[in-house]
């Protein structure tokens, strides 16, 4: 799950309660948002740098396929 800009993974808590229980759900924090480390002052992150963070999660869990749930900026990133 991927949240929008200036949001956090916590925004998905109400949704997860409604989803089937026979799946695992992971909501990541985009760089500089939620409980992730702040982005250094003056550093501008492009969509591609944020996509790299998403790819890092996918690679870490060694997913060959997954369902991507998102909103706002997270949706845009999922389309790239």
**pLDDT of res. 20:** 96
In the residue annotation, 46 being an active-site residue is answered as no
Task: Tell whether the torsion through CA atoms of 7, 11, 12 and 15 is positive or negative.
Answer: negative
Residue 60, SS3 per DSSP:
helix
Q: Which of 8, 36, 65, 72 is catalytic?
A: 72
Q: Of 59, 69, 68, 8, give the one whose Cα is nearest residue 36.
A: 8
Q: What is the pLDDT of residues 9-66, one digit of tens each?
A: 999 999 999 999 999 999 999 998 888 888 889 888 899 989 999 999 999 999 999 9
Q: Cα Rg for the chain, rounded, in angstroms?
A: 13
Helix (H, G, I), strand (E, B) or coil at 54: helix
pLDDT digits (tens, 9 = 90+) for 67-78: 999 999 999 999
């Amino acid at each position: 799950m991927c949240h929008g800009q200036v949001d956090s993974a916590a925004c998905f808590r109400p949704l997860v309660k409604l989803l089937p229980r026979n799946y695992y759900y992971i909501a990541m924090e985009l760089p500089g948002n939620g409980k992730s480390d702040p982005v250094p002052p003056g550093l501008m992150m492009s969509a591609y740098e944020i996509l790299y963070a998403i790819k890092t999660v996918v690679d870490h869990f060694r997913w060959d396929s997954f369902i991507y749930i998102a909103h706002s900026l997270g949706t845009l990133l999922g389309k790239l």
